[in-house]
Amino acid sequence: MKKELIKFIVFAALLLCAPLLFAGGYLMNVLVFVGINTMLAIALNLLLGYAGQISLGHAGFFGLGAYLSGIFTTTFGFNPWLAIPVAAIVVGILAALIGFPILRLKGHYLAMATLGMGIIIFIVFNETINYTGGPSGLSGIPPLSVGNIVFDSDIKNYYLVWSVTLIIVIFSLNLANSRIGRALRALHDSEVAARVMGVNTRLLKVQIFALSAMISSIAGSLYAHTMTFISPASFGFNFSVELLTMVVIGGLGSVYGSFLGAALLTLLPEFLRAAHDYDIIIYGALLMLMVMYMPGGLVRGIPELFMKLIKARKGPWNA
């Protein structure tokens, strides 16, 4: 437990100091996105990595959070601080309602069903023009503020987003080490065995699905309030796949892995500016290579590789 605490403190300290290095630069803005994507990757990881339930529709929940927050504040004049939890609760209820029938499915069927759900949500964003502005997007979403401080610059947004992200990191770490976390892992390994041990798997799956959707919704709201403009294109099927890639590359069932995956996939396109349109090829290739050669993700694969190298140096490996 102590080791966990030290790990977290180092992680948080590094993040809090990062602006000292990058402040003012364009990278600051990218780091805000790393924060939002980390939240999303953790949300999906709780579902996929811990509970073993795939979702290809999480961009939909992200989008719902963003749009609900946007519509509540612009059309109905909510305070942004009120809009975020209200949006999260609405999305959570919706996810629970969808979750009961959808989570009875397994494997490929679950993947397709969640994918269908995500695409339906995406189409709704495009078609309910009166509320969402349709394909041209929703603008004029107010930024968050505390007293006189308005979160309108990259550096302020950085601290805003990362504070929320760190809370979610702590929450997820605690959840993973709790009774619920153990139940989730049991569910992952064998649903029947988990049920035999007294875990209400049906309910647990729905709960974790709803929780994951709510975290995604919070990330969506923060995205809306920091960007102040949203359009459906950010919440399509491609983004669901990108989230999946983050979780898989980082490492299934690891909170810090989600951060690694999110950071890599958010920063990579920035370094590949020249190949901007073609970053999708790199995603595809990365996704395939990771599953084939590093199924544990970066967070386990890198130490493993390291160990192998040390061993290889010590003596012939094929002995």
Partner 1 sequence: MTATQNRLTIYSLFLPEEGNFMQKWNSMQFDQILQYTLSGLSTGAIYALIGIGFSIIYNSTGIINFAQGEFVMLGGMLTLFFTGLLKLPLWAAIPCAVLSSTVVGLLFERLAIRPLRQPTPINLVIITIGGSILIRGLSMLLWGKDTHALQPFSGEEPIFIGGATILPQHLWILGITMIIIAANKYFFYHTISGKAMRACAYNRRAAGLVGIDVRRMILFSFIISSAMGAVAGIIVAPLTMTAYDVGIMLGLKGFCAAIIGGMSSGMATVIGGLLLGVLESLGAGMISSGYKDAIAFIILLIILFVRPQGLFGKAESERV
Backbone dihedral region for residue 139 (phi beyond 0: left; psi -120 to 50: alpha; all else: beta) = beta
Of 83 and 194, which CB lies nearer to partner 1 in the complex structure?
194
In the complex, the smallest distance separating the C-beta of residue 119 from partner 1, rounded to whole angstroms, is 5
In the complex, the smallest distance separating the C-beta of residue 131 from partner 1, rounded to whole angstroms, is 10
* Structure tokens, 136: 């041209």
> 58 with 118: CB under 8 angstroms?
yes
In the complex, the smallest distance separating the C-beta of residue 44 from partner 1, rounded to whole angstroms, is 12
CA dihedral 140→144→145→146, nearest 10 degrees, is 160
In the complex, the smallest distance separating the C-beta of residue 243 from partner 1, rounded to whole angstroms, is 12
Of 117 and 183, which CB lies nearer to partner 1 in the complex structure?
117
Residues in Cβ contact with 186 at an 8 Å cutoff, skipping those fewer than 6 apart? 193, 194, 197, 199
Q: Which residues bind partner 1 (CB under 8 A)?
A: 48, 52, 54, 56, 101-102, 104-109, 111-113, 115-117, 119-120, 123-124, 126-130, 237, 241, 244, 248, 277-278, 280-281, 283-288, 291-292, 295
Of 106 and 311, which CB lies nearer to partner 1 in the complex structure?
106
Q: Among 225, 63, 61, 261, which residue's Cα sits nearest to residue 150? A: 225
In the complex, the smallest distance separating the C-beta of residue 248 from partner 1, rounded to whole angstroms, is 6
Of 117 and 160, which CB lies nearer to partner 1 in the complex structure?
117
Of 23 and 305, which CB lies nearer to partner 1 in the complex structure?
305
Task: Give the number of other Cβ atoms within 10 Å of residue 160's Cβ.
Answer: 20
